Amino acid sequence: MRVTDMPAGDRPRERLWALGAEALADRELLALLLGSGTRGRDAVELAGELIAAHGGLRGLARADPQALVGLPGMGPAKAVRVAAAFHLARRVANEGAADRCRIVTTADLATAAAPLLRGLRHERVVVVVCDTADTVLRTARLTDGASDRNLIPVRDVLALVLASGGSSFGVAHNHPTGDPTPSGPDRRATTRLREAAAAVGLRFLDHVVVTDDAWRRVTTDL
C-alpha cells in the first residue's frame, strides 16, 4: 500500500500539512521519504521496521545506503533518499554551528567541529580555520577513513589554513567506537601540529576527539 492509498485522516503528508511536522511520529516522517511500503505493509509500518532494525534514528542516520537495502521493501531508490535526508540535516547543523562563532575555549572547537564528525561510521579529520580574532572562517573536512592518527597530513592542514586566509586553527577527529580517549598517535599528532604551526607563524588552538555523545581534548606528549 502506498501512503497516498491510506485513509485521508491517517496520511502523514496531510497531517504534516495541517498540523505541522511536530505532530508526526518518527516513523511517519520517515514514511514520507519512503513513499510506499510492500505487500501487506504500508509505508509507516516499513518505516517503523527500518528504524527498529538500526537501533533507532541515530543508528539509521549513520547507516550507509547499502546497509538499508537488507530489509525487504527497501530498494536502492528508497535507501538513497533516506541517506540523503540525514546528510542534508548534518550539513544544516554544520552551517549553524560554524556561523561566525568564535573559538575561545576547547569546548568551542568541539562544538564547531561536531556536526561534521558525529553520526559517522568511519574516521574523519576536520580543520577549523580562524582569523586573528579567533572567529571561524571555515570548517572543512580534511580526510576520511584514516585509521591511524599518524596519517593526519600536517602539510595539508597548514596549506588549508593558509589558503583560507587563517591566522589560527584547531583540529578535530572522531572515534567511531564511541570512546573519546586520545591514543598515543593522537597525542603525537598534536605535537607535530603545534610545532609545524609555530614554524609558519600560525597559532594552533587545540586538537579534540569527538564522539556522538562526548569530546576529549588531546594533550601533547610530555
191-211 average pLDDT score: 96
Q: Which of 93, 121, 137 is the last residue of a domain?
A: 93
Task: Identify which has the larger pLDDT, 56 or 148.
Answer: 56
Report d(CA 156, CA 164) in Å as an integer: 12
Boundaries of domain holding 45 = 3-93
C-alpha–C-alpha distance, residues 85 and 19, integer Å: 21
Burial of 138 (0-12, 13-18, 19+ CB in 10 A): middle
Residues 130 and 77 in one domain: no
Confidence band of 170 (pLDDT split at 50, 70, 90): very high
Q: Select the highest-mean-pLDDT range: 15-24, 124-133, 147-156.
A: 124-133
Q: What is the mean pLDDT of residues 136-156?
A: 80
Residue 161 sits in the same domain as residue 125: yes
**Residue range 155-172: average pLDDT?**
95
| pLDDT value of residue 97 | 53
Edge to edge, what strands does the sheet with 124-130 contain? Answer: 136-144, 124-130, 168-174, 203-210, 215-217
- State what percent of residues in the chain have pLDDT above 90: 58
Domain membership of residue 141 (yes or no) is yes
Kindly report, residue by residue over 98-130, the tens digit of the pLDDT. Answer: 555 889 999 999 999 998 998 888 899 999 999
Q: Are residues 213 and 162 in the same domain?
A: yes
Q: Which CATH number characterizes residue 34's domain? A: 1.10.150
What amino acid is encoded at 14 in this protein? E
Quote the pLDDT of residue 4. Answer: 59
Q: Is residue 195 over pLDDT 70?
A: yes
Q: Note whether 109 and 168 are within 8 A (CB).
A: no
Is the model more confident about 119 or about 208?
208
> Are 183 and 112 part of one and the same domain?
yes
Inter-axis angle of helices 26-34 and 12-19, to 10 degrees? 120
pLDDT tens, 20-62?
888 899 999 999 999 888 888 888 999 999 999 999 998 898 8
pLDDT number for residue 90: 77
Give the C-alpha distances (Å, rounded to integers) separating 143 from 7, 116, 149. Answer: 48, 12, 11
For position 99, what pLDDT does the model report?
Answer: 53
E strands, 135-214, are: 136-144, 168-174, 203-210
Whether the per-residue pLDDT at 222 is higher than 50: the answer is no
Domain endpoint, select from 64, 93, 122:
93
- The reported pLDDT for the residue numbered 145 is 78
The partner residues of 170 in beta bridges, in order of sequence, read 128
E-strand stretches of the chain: 124-130, 136-144, 168-174, 203-210, 215-217
34 and 63 share a domain? Answer: yes
The whole-number average pLDDT for the span 126-149 is 85
